[in-house]
Amino acid sequence: MAFIKPYTYVDGTILSADDQASNDDAVKDYLNSGIAAGDYAGEFIDFDQIEVGELEPITGAYRFMSGEIWGTAVGTAAPERSYFTSNIRNGKQTAVNPSIYQTVYETGQTVELIHEGDLLITFGGTFKCEENEVQANGRWDSTVVLRYKDSPTAKWENVPGTEAFTFEETYSAGTAPRAVTDLNPFPIIAYPASERPETMFRRFIGFTWLIKGLSPGIYTFSVATKSKAEEGFASARSFTIEIFYA
Amino acid sequence: MPIVEKIPLLPDQVPSAAELNKVYDDLAVATTAIDEDNGGSNWLTYAHLIDPATNEPINKLYFAAYNGPTAVNYNSTVFQSMVSNTGTITEVNLDYFPNETEVLRLHMSGLVGVPTVNVDYDFVGANLGKPNYYAFRIMVTYSDSGGPDQNFIAGYWGYSFTTNGLNRYDTTSAPTGPSINWQTFQASTIVKYKGITGVRQYKKAILQVAVFDNSNTLSVVRQSLQAVRARK
């Protein structure tokens, strides 16, 4: 509610110090952050009072304030690459299904939800893998997936709708070891010269996915790789989390 | 010019009640229109961003997805709606009237499985470079002034079946290259409504797909569609 003075002056009436002080104190209290949420209770705040979602037709730029946004973006410079490898534990390099996850740098974000909310998460990155020197077993794709946990001691939980792969799996229909003659891309020389799949080793992986109905709390997110490649990296990449409170 | 004026008083001048009341009464009027400069902590909460008349939040998120793992195949040369393995269309029901200049955000993403590719080489003439392609689009269904449903396309996004690059622009059949499997597809776009507030009703946004040559079959393991509306 708006300010109301405690004391009203009346002509011909002797003013007391207390009455004057009561008005002055009330003003100080009110103006020094005394305005409470209830003062606005009757005033619905509409979107254009905060940020207008609009398109600038000359430049094509647009702005859209949808909620809290947490994001990072990394360019293509070599020092900014996020490397991953299957060599970090003995025997995992040729494992049929390795279980070692490695975070893609700059995709780890911790956000706090003060109410129950939905998180819209967008990731995009360029992935490049080098040719293996050893024979891969089973499927030879490296997995990329979004993971999260709700406390430092909790286990990471994969988000199934975000799973993607760094290779084509063109000829890998089963889990049997791949032979060079079976057009395994490790090494890639098995392919006809006209169809060498160098492009299979470099691809853009992206997703936009919604995680609905998270309870209030602190959540840590990470895009991780489960690598079958001896050497791979993500170069240009961006990662954003948008919070939508219901 | 100050919003709240204090009338200066001289020594020995007896102020009138009106003069003394004025500063406080001015403040009472001014505080009916408080701005961000003098708000207390937490004066604005998410509760204030919900329209009390409709109980709708200040922005709204629409989401539809098929999350696999059973692949769904497509080989139509005209755009068809993407579906789950049980036939549920990947669409979001917007069902609102956008304000003039209002912006609608649209996102889609998904994962291709293992396509079946029979033709990836190029033809001469009008179809040069096309048989190798498939494309996604987001179609928005709307109605103006309560009239019949109409559609517009918010965006098209194309992909290739194979990596067949060295034989590009051959005029005869070339060996079909290995298909590009398990790759993600993703796109974002925005739509700005330029009409008059209250006339157009957005009804649905639908994710669709088509191939150029129906001898090629696209396999999709999962797909999702998101729309975000910021109300004004």
The H-or-E segment that residue A30 falls in is: helix A17-31
pLDDT value of position A37: 66
- Among residues of chain A, what percentage have pLDDT more than 90? 24
Task: Indicate if the pLDDT at residue A228 is higher than 60.
Answer: yes
- Are residues A168 and B109, on separate chains, in Cβ contact within 8 Å? no
Residue A154 C-alpha, separation from nearest chain B C-alpha, in angstroms: 25
pLDDT value of position B13: 84
> Which residue among A3, A168, A183 places its CB closest to the CB of B28?
A3
Mean of all residue pLDDT scores within chain B: 84
Q: Which residues of A touch B226 (CB under 8 A)?
A: 120, 208, 210
pLDDT tens by residue, A174-204:
444 343 334 444 444 445 544 455 555 678 9
Q: Which residue has the higher pLDDT, A239 or B53?
A: A239
Question: How much of chain A is in helix, strand and coil states, percent to nearest 5?
Answer: 15, 35, 50
The answer to whether residues A205 and B184 touch, using CB atoms and an 8 Å cutoff, is yes
pLDDT tens by residue, B101-151:
888 999 999 999 888 888 876 656 677 778 889 999 999 999 999 999 999
A12-26, B70-84, B116-130, B138-152, range with the lowest pLDDT: B116-130
Q: Which residue has the higher pLDDT, B147 or A26?
A: B147
Task: Indicate if the pLDDT at residue B33 is higher than 50.
Answer: yes
- Are residues B177 and A195, on separate chains, in Cβ contact within 8 Å? yes
Beta bridge partners of A133: none
pLDDT value of position B11: 85
A54-58, A146-150, B87-91, B115-119, range with the lowest pLDDT: A54-58
Domain extent listing, chain B: 1-44, 53-230
pLDDT value of position A187: 43
pLDDT tens by residue, B171-181:
455 556 667 88
* DSSP per-residue string spanning A197-219: -GGGGEEEEEEEEEEEEEPSEEE
Highest mean pLDDT out of B45-49, B128-132, B198-202: B198-202
Q: A246 CB contacts (<8 Å, ≥6 apart)?
A: A115, A116, A117, A118, B57
- Are residues B48 and A44, on separate chains, in Cβ contact within 8 Å? yes
pLDDT tens by residue, A45-66:
665 566 555 566 676 655 555 5
Domain extent listing, chain A: 67-245
Residue A176 C-alpha, separation from nearest chain B C-alpha, in angstroms: 18
pLDDT value of position A44: 60
Looking at residue B53, what DSSP letter applies?
A: T
Q: Which residues of A touch B41 (CB under 8 A)?
A: 33
State the residue for tokens 């997805």.
Answer: B65
Q: Which residues of B touch A204 (CB under 8 A)?
A: 184
Q: For B53-230, CATH number?
A: 2.60.120.760
Residue A150 C-alpha, separation from nearest chain B C-alpha, in angstroms: 23
Q: For A67-245, CATH number?
A: 2.60.120.1340
